[in-house]
């Protein structure tokens, strides 16, 4: 029997992850447009992000518990079509029913978030199950394509809104809704590896240490996801509203810059990377420094640079944790990948929402008005800076988790052999 070639399967996974970036990137780029056109508050905009990732979290948890109940091959093939359906509803309901705009945005968000959750559960273990000489490179490349997808979406969105104006945002969304169909066709024409036996290969030896290790990996991906997604979801609004940078310039240099650095850092690790735990530690430390600068720097240039540099430091926090799990927990199985995706999605849901709540609460406070008059800033600018400053708690806690992980997975010294008693 001939061994199937999985080259096209890899390409299908890469295409699906690339097009999936529109689900995460496009809504934040439209935050200001949606707020202006439909009078939606920052908290409700943050709620869309919350719903996005909590829906993904629900999918992750379902697959964590019931991973053996599903036909992975069929789900992978229809997953991109679900993305398209959600984006179509996201665009068309507000267009035809402007009085129920938020209902349409919410409904579309739930649907394409289901597909996003499936992609997190399915694509990483699919890549991991494909025979490869360098599985770390393949995993890092998969996640780098998400970053380059974000960059592409940011560029196309900025140019479109500049030329065709913000009120035509729905046509842009329809364009992005068509792209996942390409990935669906590729999956239909590609063989898929068998992942059903992966979780059965788990050794019963050191079960407790393995469970603690998996818990620590989930905590690490949670804090890393918080650090990455808080900035990726709010960088566009922050640059426009807080730093008073033109939206087109902010999205091209800020959002796109963040994404391109995210992608190049992942490509760099795929080619040269090693010692993933140290990469994770440096990433958490760097992300902490960036959030503190964004929240505290009085000047526009330092805050802008820190926003963009967050892409470098957070680049490997999600895929790097998956690589670390694979290196230290043999044969993790689909359920473990689903649990890791749940941790990442939970962080991606919590951090942007909390940031939005902090912005609204601080902006409406008397302290923000007093501080704003002293610093010659608006209360909204103070609120956005406070939100970024509060977000620094996530990578700070991530530093602690990575240090604990280093000790937990540290190779244990073998006890010397017992010498026989001399006669």
Return the HEC string of 257-301: HHHHHHHHHHHHHHHHCCCHHHHHHHHHHHHHHHHHHHHHCCCHH
pLDDT at 413: 54
The label of the residue with tokens 């939100």 reads 387
Report domain extents, the chain: 9-194+206-408
pLDDT at 198: 44
In tens digits, the chain (423 residues) has pLDDT values of: 455 678 888 999 999 989 888 887 888 788 878 888 888 887 788 788 778 878 888 888 888 777 677 787 888 889 999 999 999 999 998 888 888 899 999 999 999 999 988 888 888 888 888 887 777 788 888 888 888 888 888 889 888 988 998 889 999 999 999 999 999 999 999 888 876 544 444 444 457 777 888 899 999 999 999 999 999 888 888 998 889 888 778 877 887 888 889 888 988 888 887 889 999 999 999 999 999 999 999 889 999 999 999 999 999 999 899 889 888 887 777 778 888 888 988 888 789 888 988 998 998 888 888 888 888 888 888 999 999 999 999 999 999 999 999 998 886 555 454 454 454
Helix ranges (H only) for 130-168 are 135-164
Nearest to 345 by CA among 90, 13, 23, 88: 23
Other CB atoms within a 10 A radius of the CB of residue 356 amount to 28
Nearest to 218 by CA among 226, 206, 230: 226
Distance CA 408, CA 56 (A): 29
Give the C-alpha distances (Å, rounded to integers) separating 1 from 4, 132, 167, 198.
9, 20, 57, 22
C-alpha 109: how far from its chain's center?
15
Structure tokens at 349: 């849901």
pLDDT at 417: 47
Query: Which pTM was predicted?
Result: 0.76
The label of the residue with tokens 């068509």 reads 178
Structure tokens at 395: 């990578």
Distance CA 396, CA 284 (A): 7
Provide the 3-class DSSP secondary structure of residue 199. Answer: helix
Inter-residue contact 259 to 235 (CB < 8 Å):
no
The label of the residue with tokens 């992966």 reads 198
The label of the residue with tokens 């299908």 reads 12
Inter-residue contact 81 to 180 (CB < 8 Å):
yes
Give the C-alpha distances (Å, rounded to integers) separating 265 from 86, 215, 259, 268, 316.
30, 26, 10, 5, 7
Nearest to 232 by CA among 398, 346, 348: 348
Distance CA 397, CA 375 (A): 30
Nearest to 275 by CA among 155, 76, 409: 409
Superfamily of domain 9-194+206-408: MFS general substrate transporter like domains (1.20.1250.20)
Helices 393-408, 207-237: axis angle to 10 degrees equals: 160
Nearest to 140 by CA among 324, 359, 16: 324
Q: What is the CA radius of gyration of the chain?
A: 22
């Amino acid at each position: 029997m001939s061994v199937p070639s999985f080259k096209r399967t890899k390409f299908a996974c890469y295409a699906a992850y690339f097009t999936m970036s529109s689900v995460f990137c496009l809504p934040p780029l439209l935050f200001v447009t949606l707020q202006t056109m439909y009078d939606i508050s920052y908290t409700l905009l943050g709620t869309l992000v919350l719903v996005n990732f909590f829906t993904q979290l629900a999918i992750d948890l379902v697959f964590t518990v019931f991973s053996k109940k599903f036909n992975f091959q069929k789900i992978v093939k229809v997953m991109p079509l679900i993305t398209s359906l959600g984006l179509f509803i996201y665009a068309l309901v507000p267009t035809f029913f402007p009085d129920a705009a938020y209902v349409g945005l919410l409904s579309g968000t739930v649907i394409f978030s289901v597909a996003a959750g499936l992609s997190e559960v399915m694509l990483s273990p699919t890549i991991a199950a494909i025979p490869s000489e360098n599985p770390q490179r393949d995993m890092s490349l998969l996640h780098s394509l998400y970053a380059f997808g974000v960059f592409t979406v940011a560029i196309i969105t900025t140019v479109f809104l500049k030329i065709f104006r913000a009120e035509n945002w729905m046509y842009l969304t329809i364009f992005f809704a068509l792209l996942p169909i390409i990935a669906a066709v590729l999956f239909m024409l590609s063989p898929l590896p068998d992942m059903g036996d992966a979780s059965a290969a788990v050794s019963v030896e050191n079960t407790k240490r393995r469970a603690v290790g998996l818990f620590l990996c989930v905590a690490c991906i949670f804090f890393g996801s918080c650090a990455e997604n808080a900035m990726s979801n709010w960088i566009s609004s922050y640059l426009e509203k807080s730093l008073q940078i033109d939206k087109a310039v902010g999205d091209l240099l800020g959002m796109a810059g963040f994404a391109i650095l995210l992608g190049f850092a992942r490509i760099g690790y795929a080619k040269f990377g090693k010692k993933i735990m140290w990469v994770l530690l440096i990433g958490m430390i760097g992300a902490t420094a960036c959030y503190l600068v964004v929240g505290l720097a009085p000047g526009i240039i330092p805050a802008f640079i820190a926003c963009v540099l967050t892409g470098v430091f957070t680049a490997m926090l999600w895929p790097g944790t998956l690589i670390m799990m694979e290196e230290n927990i043999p044969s993790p199985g689909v359920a473990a990948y689903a649990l890791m995706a749940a941790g990442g999605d939970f962080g991606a849901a919590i951090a942007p929402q909390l940031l939005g709540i902090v912005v609204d609460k601080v902006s409406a406070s008397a302290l923000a008005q007093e501080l704003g008059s002293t610093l010659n800033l608006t209360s909204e600018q103070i609120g956005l800076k406070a939100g970024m400053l509060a977000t620094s708690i996530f990578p700070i806690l991530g530093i602690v988790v990575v240090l604990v992980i280093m000790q937990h997975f540290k190779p244990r010294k073998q006890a010397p052999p017992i010498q026989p008693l001399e006669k």
